[in-house]
Amino acid sequence: MENQVSLRKPGKSELLISPIGLGCWQFSKQGNLAGKYWPTLDDNLIREVVKTSLEGGINWFDTAEIYGKGESEKALARALLALNKKPGEVIIATKWWPIFRTASNIGATIDDRIAALSPFPIDLYQVHQPWGFSSEVAEMEAMARLVAAKKIKHVGVSNFSAKKMRSAWKTLQKAGISLVSNQVQYSLLNRSIESDGILETAKELGITIIAFSPLAQGLVTGKFHDNPALLENIGFRKHSSRFKPKGIEKSRPVAETVKKLAVKYQATPSQVALSWLINFSGDTVVAIPGATKAAHAAENTGAMNIRLSPEDMALLDDVSKGFR
């Protein structure tokens, strides 16, 4: 039986989504360089992760063309079909990859995205990065044409600055379309969107923030602080300054506070961190943690059932203010 959670309306759309969705980069099957960030998960495990997510109240999934060159999209669709889900019963967000491409490629490749996710429609189509060979204006005009052609339902962006987000919003407004979302990195250990204008602009324009890497790649849970030996086997993350000794010490007070609150709320550290993230800014922020095991998915969904007290929300705000 699937849990009932309080759903939110992303942007000014008619969609209703759970505050936490499932990020699906890990379904990439090592299909390209981006896919090699993760080990290959077989279809049975992917199905279990998706099943557990659905049972916990998650009703939407975020994937992308670049995740294994379509392999993540295909694996997600197979899992949903195997679980007897029908089009319209779940919400699918995917992304167009703009690097070394122009806006004309959006229309040229949309049928590939539709085929990869078939029979599930694309509810939210996002420009994955702001670094294409065309302006965000040209890209949004191409996206608007897809909405008019009923190839996609809604438009989002990812990793856009406040300025580019506003420009994208203005362009879509001219076509009578709303910009639904901006997907950005956001966690207790990366709060830069609060100081660079992204969060403020999103609130002003009614745009939802989709937080990726909401657990700072596991760092916010304290597991690396408690067991430094884990740092020896963290793949690409070892090159990040936050996983170097100085970075570990800087984040220790946040991780320690998260762990203490986990005991208080009889929750896990990740659930406390996710609960703060999806509630601190009202309904503006939703999160897409990934999961490579069913247990991870269950832990993610459990965060939607935890409400921290105003005092504890403020405590986490204060202890992590150095990461704004």
Q: Output the CA–CA distances (angstroms, integers) from residue 21 to 51, 55, 285, 297, in the order listed.
A: 13, 12, 11, 10
| Phi–psi pair at 207, nearest 5 degrees | -105, 135
The β-bridge partners of 8 are 17
**16 vs 234: CA distance, rounded Å:** 35
Task: List the catalytic residue out of 37, 67, 125, 186.
Answer: 67
Provide φ and ψ at 210, rounded to 5°.
Answer: -100, 115
Q: What is the DSSP string of 88-143?
A: TSSEEEEEE--TT--THHHHHHHHHHHHHHTTS--SEEEE--S-SSS-HHHHHHHH
Q: Which two tokens stand for residue 139?
A: 């890209």
Q: Which residues, 6+ apart, have CB-to-CB distance to 249 below 8 Å?
A: none
User: Position of tokens 């989002």?
Assistant: 156
Q: What does the block give as tokens for 41? A: 């998960």
Q: Is 37 a catalytic residue?
A: no
Query: Residue 182 in contact with residue 202, Cβ under 8 Å?
Result: yes
Dmax over CA atoms of the chain, in Å, equals 54
The strand pairing partners of 272, in sequence order, are none
- The three-class DSSP label of residue 40 is coil
Nearest to 101 by CA among 109, 93, 90: 109
Q: Exposed, middle or buried, 284 (CB in 10 Å: 0-12/13-18/19+)? A: middle
User: 179: phi > 0 → left, psi -120 to 50 → alpha, else beta; which?
Assistant: beta
Give the residue numbers annotated as catalytic, written as ranges: 67
